[in-house]
Amino acid sequence: MTEEKSLLQQIREKELMISIKIDETRREADEIIISARKEASEMIETSEREGKKAAQEYFEKEMERLKKESEQLRNQSTQQALSVQTEGERNLPSAIDKIAKVVSLE
């Protein structure tokens, strides 16, 4: 004769099975959470690394542009100084004559 389980035993077995399923589901959820955190951390690290690289490239590009602009300004200043010097040297004889006339009249 086969023994039939009492209603209480059947309930306890179901509770045990459900408890096991809940534990398995919790473990799976914990694994998913751990995996997601790891992936998020890797994404943050990658983003920071790429951001630093992009910032460094931008900085270097802008420094090169400023260096060229500075060199152009320096060249323009040098050309202006030479132009003023040439103009002054060209006007020097007439200025000397004018000064000599003014001084000799006194």
Give tens-digit pLDDT for 64-103: 999 999 999 999 999 999 999 999 889 888 888 888 888 8
CA dist 53 and 40 (Å) reads 20
Give how far the C-alpha of residue 65 lies from the chain's centroid of Cα atoms, to the nearest Å: 18
CA count, 13 A, side-chain hemisphere, 21:
6
pTM for this structure? 0.55
Higher confidence at residue 106 or residue 53? 53
> In this structure, are residues 5 and 13 in contact, taking their beta carbons and an 8 Å threshold?
yes
d(C-alpha 85, C-alpha 77), whole Å: 12
